[in-house]
Amino acid sequence: MKEEEVRRHEGASSDGYLAHIFRHAAKELFNEDVGALTYRSLRNKDFQEVTLERDGEVLLRFAAAYGFRNIQNVVLKLKRGKFPYHFVEVLACAGGCLSGRGQAQAEDGRADRALLRQMEGIYAAIPVRPPETSAHVQELYQEWLGGADSPRAQAALHTAYQGPGQSASSRDIKW
């Protein structure tokens, strides 16, 4: 791609696709056009939720859980069956990926806050383009998956909650 063609997804910085998925779900499921999202911090700045409400009823409840402590809380709530979210975005690094251990640090080993602000500014300056409007994404769906609603797309891109059973890979995890 040429540099002038670079686009980013919606989001504050290194977060994932929560904002895009929330807007898409609101439109597809409830015919609601959502503008700016209002995140509400819960336990800390790295555990936030956003809701879509109509007439006092919560239609969608999404959460962003960044950092292992918040991820552990998500898993515990899931195991207890007390999890009110329709979607959760999980990132291992507290503060998101731009704040992760792989980023540049000052000579004293601390995170370089000025560099972090610079990276966030550069990221924010990249124009936003929803993924579904990208010709490259459309081409991938057609050529690789046989269309957006094909059985291959369903198998590769969709999942379903399996319930609280114990899989072989989860036996050794003691949270």
What's residue 165's pLDDT? 58
For residue 30, pLDDT over 70 is answered with yes
Q: Are strands 57-66 and 87-91 parallel, antiparallel or unpaired?
A: parallel
In the chain, where are the structural domains located? 17-127, 132-158
- Asked which of 59-63, 75-79, 133-137, 144-148 is least confident by mean pLDDT, the reply is 133-137
CA-angle at 36, arms to 33 and 40, nearest 5°: 115
The one-letter code for the residue type at 103 is Q
Contact 49, 61 (CB under 8 A): yes
Q: Tell me the whole-structure pTM to 2 decimals.
A: 0.70
Residue 47: phi and psi, rounded to 5, are -130, 105
For residue 68, pLDDT over 80 is answered with yes
For residue 130, pLDDT over 90 is answered with no
Contact 52, 26 (CB under 8 A): yes
